[in-house]
Structure 1
Amino acid sequence: MSFAKRPSLRFLRPRRFYSDKKTPSQNNAPSPTHPVKTVSNPAKRSLLQIIDSSPLGRLGRSFANVQRRRPYTTQLSSSFVIFLFGDLSAQLFFPQPADSNSEEGEFAPYDPWRTGRHLVIGVVSSIPQYKWFMFLHRNFNYTSKFRSILTKVAVQQAVFTPVFNTYFFGMQSLLAGGTIPETIERLKKALPVSISNSVKLWPIVTAFSFMYVPPEFRSVFSGIVAVGWQTYLSWLNQKAAQEVLAMELAAAAAAAA
């Protein structure tokens, strides 16, 4: 009795393509066309990265977001704070004598009307200042960054500084009840000194701002510097007012004699 040969069932078994199979180490290996992304060492972060991740950096980003949404409101608020602290620090650290006959060490008390005049001047000038700095940001942009910054600094010093300082000292005198001749005399006393001293500070601040500070943070950076500058302007204004008053008293005494 002969038995028929059983047909082979090997063709029903799934084939394994060993040439396509990868080992676990091969599966985890990166493709040669895709470079490996290295994780930066937190200890080697730059100073800007550290500041950006700090509470100060988060506060700066929040301020920048608000400024982009409501630029005029932000500028008004910033000017209010800058001019407020500028006059308060001037009255605190550079107090004026009580009067021409006051003894040494006797100073005038805090003057809220002086602070009020300072705030009016700052709030009124805040929007024109913002418009000016935006104009400066959009113009004088050349292929050479050095030439652009140098031009912006020169235009800032030649145009903005004399106009703003004239406005500041003139309004201080007029709001305090000074006459036109008294205002002119105060400008003669304070304006040349303020312009010459501004050359020692603001060109460096402006150049540094356009070189290293992002546009949304430039107003914050300038505002911090402006607190000290407004302190100086407030002190210089009071010094010029005292000199004009002393000159008028001397002239009146000479006329009476």
Structure 2
Amino acid sequence: MSGRRLFRMYQDVLRRRPYLVQAVQTSVLMAAGDVIAQTGIEKIPLTSLDISRTIRFSSIGFFVIGPTFRVWYGILAKYVGSGGSPTVTIKKVLMDQLLFAPFILFVLLALIATLKGKNLQEVKEELRLNYKDVLLTSYTIWPWVQICNFYLVPLQYQVLLVQTIALFWNTYLSWKTQRKRDMMEKKVSELK
């Protein structure tokens, strides 16, 4: 099957089922980011992967991140505009980075902690440890990505572009949220 034919099939399914397609692609890319974090950064052998961690991360992509991004980009297109003018692009980027990014990162980090089985106090502690660093790091990457995305990419492909770039971002998030937990567990074991 040729790449062109595969892309046409993707476009057809995307047109018919935009939320489902974007939920699935986000889920797959978040799972891939977690696997890369575990094997490439944390040096965990493939045979020792924490599959439940990957499933948690992937589930957040499927049920929350993919659909939420699709709705958000639709809202931006409807209320700010869908043309690729510099003014529309800057407005979208500002709204995305000042309103949506802080919100979605908070939700994502809270969900990761909650799905790890953390209680409310532990979720608050993980947010205290990670939120500011993650948000500041996001501001070094995402405004530039979103300028290109909103200026050059048609609405139906914006989530795909963001989630493709997010493969690297998801790798970072997976590592970052796991690293803090590992450091806290090490401190607790040293105190015993």
Query: RMSD in angstroms over aligned alpha carbons?
Result: 2.5
> Would the alpha carbon gap of residues 144 and 166 (structure 1) be closer, same or farther in structure 2, given more than 3 Å must change?
closer
One-letter amino acid matched to 1:64: Q
Alignment of 1:166 with 2:106, yes or no, is yes
Alignment of 1:63 with 2:3, yes or no, is no
Alignment of 1:113 with 2:60, yes or no, is no
Q: Which runs of 5+ in 1 are unaligned?
A: 1-54, 98-105
Alignment of 1:150 with 2:90, yes or no, is yes
Alignment of 1:226 with 2:166, yes or no, is yes
Match runs of 1:127-138 below 5 Å: 127-138=67-78
| Identity across matched positions, percent | 25
CA distance in 1, matches of 2:75, 2:85: 17
CA contact (8 A) 1:82 1:223 kept: yes
Match runs of 1:181-196 below 5 Å: 181-196=121-136
> Would the alpha carbon gap of residues 191 and 96 (structure 1) be closer, same or farther in structure 2, given more than 3 Å must change?
farther
CA contact (8 A) 2:37 2:171 kept: yes
What residue is the counterpart of 1:72 in the other structure?
19
CA contact (8 A) 1:170 1:183 kept: yes
- Cα-to-partner distance string for 1:57-96 (whole Å, 9 max, x where unaligned): 5544432221111112212211221111111111111117
> Would the alpha carbon gap of residues 206 and 136 (structure 1) be closer, same or farther in structure 2, given more than 3 Å must change?
same
> Would the alpha carbon gap of residues 221 and 241 (structure 1) be closer, same or farther in structure 2, given more than 3 Å must change?
same
CA contact (8 A) 1:90 1:232 kept: yes
What residue is the counterpart of 1:51 in the other structure?
none
Q: Which has the higher contact order (CA 8 A, sep 6+)?
A: 2
CA distance in 2, matches of 1:76, 1:119: 10
> Would the alpha carbon gap of residues 57 and 211 (structure 1) be closer, same or farther in structure 2, given more than 3 Å must change?
farther
CA distance in 2, matches of 1:159, 1:148: 16
CA distance in 2, matches of 1:245, 1:164: 27
Return the TM-score normalized by structure 2: 0.87
Higher helix share: 2
CA distance in 1, matches of 2:176, 2:126: 10
What residue is the counterpart of 2:149 in the other structure?
209
Structure 2 residue matching 1:201: 3-state secondary structure = helix
CA distance in 2, matches of 1:141, 1:241: 42
CA distance in 1, matches of 2:146, 2:140: 12
- Cα-to-partner distance string for 1:218-255 (whole Å, 9 max, x where unaligned): 222222101111111101111121233244445xx2xx
